[in-house]
Amino acid sequence: MNPALAVAILGASGRMGRALIDATLRSSELTLSAAIERAGNPVVGTDAGVMIGAAAAGVPVTDALLPALAQSAVLVDFTAPAATLAALEACVEIGRPIVIGTTGFTPEQKVLIGKASRSIPVCIAANYSIGVNVALKLVEVAARTLGPEYDVEIVEAHHRHKVDSPSGTALALGEAAAAGLGRDLRSNAVYGREGQIGARNPNTIGFATVRGGDVVGDHTVMYLGDGERLEISHRASNRANFATGALRAAVWMAEQPPGLYSMRDVLSLND
């Protein structure tokens, strides 16, 4: 039997951080080697298991990133772009793979992530749900098969605390539809409609955003044709599925050479 993979989790006290800690502690394949937070966070020094309301894990939350990485095989990061880039630099310095669940990167920041992947394995995905990644494949296939006669609209809903819009997952679904149609999403996306906007441009891929309550994440891609409508939907009821997918990626990444990977690589969906 292979030894358990030592996983460090950055953003330990966040919603996803807590879900990742819980899933890691429950796994027979993994061991929680470090739970990391920013300096000054009140949970620093607290046992990670106690922090999530479970039994003590013997792993205190730390703000010392490099020592935490030194005792870990892979870092899983769900934080914010600036924190992710700092962690990425540390992973390059110490030679550790990183699984990135952070969204909202600028094009320039994405270039930095790509450069880092020349030195270490980097997995980045807008959504680590296995179901969402299957949906991404289906969205591309449906767009390619249905063709330009069907209008594409994407509706997403998230909790009131989400800071980016549209969600990274909605944008990834848009990219998948655009790829299937042979279009450039940046040139054809419409992120809001108001007033006398005129008839719909047939090349448009539209986005509508809902924010409120405690919605974990709902996404629907609609293909609207004459006389029929096809919808591909995914609804998350909790964050456990995201954590499960991210940790599956961590196990896979530990065996990969340097490079830039996605969940499509992890799940062999690129064929």
User: How far is CA 267 from each of CA 228, 248, 249, rounded to the nearest angstrom?
Assistant: 32, 9, 9
In the 3-class helix/strand/coil scheme, how is the chain assigned residue by residue? CCCCEEEEEECCCCHHHHHHHHHHHHCCCEEEEEEECCCCCCCCCCEHHHHCCCCCCCCEEECCHHHHHHCCCEEEECCCHHHHHHHHHHHHHHCCCEEECCCCCCHHHHHHHHHHCCCCEEEECCCCCHHHHHHHHHHHHHHHHHCCCCEEEEEEEECCCCCCCCCHHHHHHHHHHHHHHCCCHHHHEECCCCCCCCCCCCCCEEEEEEECCCCCEEEEEEEECCCCEEEEEEEECCCHHHHHHHHHHHHHHCCCCCEEECHHHHCCCCC
Pairing of the two strands 61-62 and 74-77: unpaired
- The catalytic residue among 110, 161, 162, 219 is 162
137 is catalytic: no
Residue of 110, 115, 137, 158 marked active site: 158
β-strand partners of 43: none
115 an active-site residue? no
CA-to-CA separations, 154 to 68, 124, 199, 232, 234, in angstroms, rounded: 40, 22, 18, 10, 12
- Residues assigned a catalytic role: 158, 162
